[in-house]
Structure 1
């Protein structure tokens, strides 16, 4: 959904982005079984996209633990300088994470503090989508 400001995000549908540098990608990584995640990261690597991109495997794993604990992911200028994003997991009827609901904005609007304030709304939206897909949890 486009906001009222002059600064606007582009449509990312269909574009390939590094999983470790995006909030949606971190959701998908966080909920993969450890062996699958390790194999995927070994195959794709942890390419540095911006100076803020996490490229150390141990740091990424710590971030993914935090994602699972909090129920949402964030990317602070990791894909593009000046862009902050957040995402929450969408689950299928079996409880598997199959998608992510995300929101992004310029870092001066979607500050770290604002991102954490909005997280419960994003999680609620992802949960509603999950329930419509048959998830009962």
Structure 2
């Protein structure tokens, strides 16, 4: 299966140039598209449901679409509801302060639930909490807003 040269060309949206990798072909492309749609569905659910980290899944969906469908990638990147956060992450590696608070609060709640659910088995909550602490530390150390250019 050959690719259209226009499918591998850099795509532009807003004022930033986006260079997308070449799309995969065949089963790999289909697999990544399915994976992208699953992540997109979870990401949308995360916007609605408290405690579900929607932004992470939207970022993963954006990556999957960048390798499987440039049209879907640009649709999500330019989306009126989700695009601004994805563009902020892509351009500046910014995680908004509200999102940081929500993520750390959700992980804290999940840790408390794990401790309550497994009172006699410490390795399950211990391992999960260790991962959550590492992820929370990484999230908290990302910038919360775009730095002033001056």
Is the TM-score greater than 0.5?
A: no
TM-score by length of 2: 0.26
TM-score, length basis structure 1: 0.27
Judging by fraction of residues, say which structure has more strand: 1
**Which structure's CA Rg is the greater one?**
2
Structure with greater helix percent: 2
Bigger RCO of structures 1 and 2 (CA < 8 A, at least 6 apart)? 1
